[in-house]
Every structure is written in structure tokens, then in C-alpha cells.
Amino acid sequence: MANRKFWTPDLSRRQVLKSTAGLAAAPVLMGGFSGLAAAQQGNLVFGSASLGSTGYVIVESISAVVNRHTDMRTSSMSTSGGAENLQLIGEGMIDMGQSASTDWPAATAGEGRFGSPIEMSQMFAYTLWATIPIVRADSDIQTARDLAGYRVSPSTAGGSTRRTWEMMTEFLGVKDDIDWTYGSWRETYDAFLSGAIDCCPGLLAGGSPSPLMQELQASVDVRGLGWPQDAITHANEVNAGIMAYEVVPERWTGVSEPTACTASVGLLAAHPRVTAEQGYEITKAVFDNAEEVRNISMELENIDLDFAVRYLMDSMPVHPGSAQYFKEQGVWRDELTIAEG
């Protein structure tokens, strides 16, 4: 089947940042500043995600709480999401960024789109993003193996969901028989609603549907498909950032029983220039005021000390400032490693 794109950006935020990096104090599009410019102003820059998305809301909220409870000044810049944030950290354009665990192995190894290894550390985990295949409630598609011959969009062409889904459908022997198309989350859901595609990811944050998912379900009845356990195990063996996850009907009405899918961890990534003192103050501001943060939005319900440490990746270094705070709180895991300061 032919691969199609129904959305192509004319200019990426990374290209915009590159073109403006030499203008030390020049603002970038949409109110953000390049990391170099912000550093000269004593400002730490977070990379978030597309406007209105879960990642955008989470990072905007974290930035606001840090500004409220510390003497530091931070700002949040909209980007295309986690993978681009890791690239921007590698290029020194931002100080911290939201990211997905699925992108870390390739980013630290310099594989695929990343080109060269990126040096960074993880500060804390803040959510689990589950992506379960969804179809219309009356669709003839009953299992992931039935996707052969249908139109499927895993959202963006460069996103981690695409790589995960193509890996698993190849394992199941149906990848080459699927008609793949790509687009932003908004465009993917609009295409699903219009009938232009038959299957796309249902995005759940912390087990509950994202705002875009809720909007979609207000217009069409959907049903979640599980992934076979052997396909999930295969994906995790290839990429440790891909986790097994069980969607339950108590959290989402698109399934009638616990249903297996995959998830990635939302991790705050930090450039090496973020000092131990800064990392400590940021982490302390967020988790000393966890209830305040959770009350901002449902996307922040997983802002919790135990969650923050439980889902840190064992194979990746933890920022020394965050590690110090977690040790003081008695939640540190000894199998974790600390980045060199």
C-alpha cells in the first residue's frame, strides 16, 4: 500500500531556532526564546509540545509553579513534542523539555533522526501516555491483526507511536499490507472523524482520555483494540522505553474489559548546563507543591513523589539535583544512576 501524508510542516521549530540562535535577545515565534538568548537573560527555557496538547499543558504548568515558588525565572516554548525537544537539548537551544521514554534510547545513542548522541539527564516522570488503537464502534476490525488492508494513521511521521506501531505490525506480519498515513494529533483525529482513516491511536494520559480524545468521543463512538502480548513483549525487547500497559473501563469507556496496549513515560529531560542547584530547586518546587500542581489540570494527576521516581528509566542518568531531592524524601531507588555534575 502507498504511504501518504495529509500534513507536512513548511518549517520546523528547530529550523526556526537555528536561524535565530545568533540573535541573542531576539524572541522566537509564539513567544519563546532560544536557549542561548534566554540564558543571557537569566531565563531557563522549557520545551513543551503543540499548543493545547497534554505535554504543552504539563510543561506550562511546571514552568508557572517554578516561577511562583522559587527565585528562578523560566519560560515554556511550544514545540512539536518530545523527540524535537531532545534534539533541541542536544543543540543547546533549550534547557529542559518534556519527552517520551521511547525516544531516549535512540537519542542517547545518536540513532535515526537524532544523528549524534545527545547528552542529557532525566529529572522526574510526570505521566504515562498510553496509545491504544481505536476504531469506530461498529467497525469490522476486531484485532490488531485485522488491520491489513485498512487505512491507519499512527499520528506524526516522526513520532514514537509510528515507530512502535510499525514494529509491532511487522512482528504480526501485517505491516506491509496496511495503508499508512500521517498527521498531527489534531489532523489525525479530524481524519478519523471524517472517515478518511479507519484506525488511529487513542491517547490516554494516566489512563484517562486526553482532551482531544474527549472531543473526538463527543462526536463518534469508538472502540479500543488490544495488542497481542507477544507483540508488546517484542517491542519492549527492542526499545526499553516501550512499556506494557492495561487500559481499564473504569478509566476509559472505549473498552469493556482490561485491554493490553503500550505506553511511554513522560520524562522531564535536562541539558547538562542545568546545575545541581537549579535541578534541586525545580524538583522541590514541583513536588513540595504537588497538590497545587495536580489541581491545575487533569493532565497533571500523576504529579506525585512515588510516581516521579518509580517510572524513571534505570538505564538513563538522573539529574543530580533531582536525585538529591528524592534521597531527602526517602523515595530514591538504588538501581538508578546519577549524572555527573
DSSP-assigned beta bridge partners for residue 261: 245
Virtual torsion, Cα 82, 85, 87, 91, nearest 10 deg: -170
- Which residues lie below 8 Å from residue 263, measured CB to CB, with a gap of 6+? 128, 129, 130, 131, 242, 243, 244, 245
Q: Could you tell me which CATH number the domain at 129-264 has?
A: 3.40.190.10
Coil, strand, or helix at residue 134? strand
Which residue's entry shows cell 501516555? 129
DSSP-assigned beta bridge partners for residue 122: 269, 318
Quickly count: other Cβ atoms within 10 Å of residue 254's Cβ. 22
Amino acid in position 305:
L
The C-alpha angle 82, 232, 314, rounded to 5 degrees, equals 55
pLDDT for the residue 41: 53
What secondary structure does DSSP assign to 200-220, as a single string? EEEEEETTEE-HHHHHHHTTS
Query: Residue 15 in contact with residue 87, Cβ under 8 Å?
Result: no
Going by the DSSP 8-state scheme, the letter that residue 22 receives in this structure is T
Coil, strand, or helix at residue 173? coil
Q: Where are the domains of the chain?
A: 13-127+267-328, 129-264
Whole-angstrom distance, CA of residue 11 vs CA of residue 213: 27
DSSP-assigned beta bridge partners for residue 47: 77, 97
Virtual torsion, Cα 35, 46, 160, 232, nearest 10 deg: 140
- Which residues lie below 8 Å from residue 27, measured CB to CB, with a gap of 6+? 33, 37
User: Which of 209, 196, 262 is CA-nearest to residue 234?
Assistant: 262
- Asked, colleague to colleague, whether 13-127+267-328 and 129-264 share their fold, the answer is yes
DSSP-assigned beta bridge partners for residue 130: 204, 263
Please state the pTM of the whole predicted model. 0.77
Taking 50 as the pLDDT cut, the residues of the chain under it are 1-40
User: Which of 61, 103, 59 is CA-nearest to residue 84?
Assistant: 103
Instruction: Tell me whether strands 208-209 and 43-47 are parallel, antiparallel or unpaired.
Output: unpaired
Whole-angstrom distance, CA of residue 116 vs CA of residue 104: 13
Whole-angstrom distance, CA of residue 152 vs CA of residue 219: 19
User: Which of 114, 170, 164 is CA-nearest to residue 147?
Assistant: 170
Q: Could you tell me which CATH number the domain at 13-127+267-328 has?
A: 3.40.190.10
Query: Residue 13 in contact with residue 83, Cβ under 8 Å?
Result: no
Query: How far from 29 is each of 16, 60, 62, 300, CA to CA, in Å?
Result: 8, 16, 21, 26
User: Which of 191, 201, 123 is CA-nearest to residue 159?
Assistant: 201
* CA dihedral sign of residues 178, 184, 185, 190: negative
At what angle are helices 276-288 and 320-328 packed, to 10 degrees?
A: 40
pLDDT for the residue 207: 84
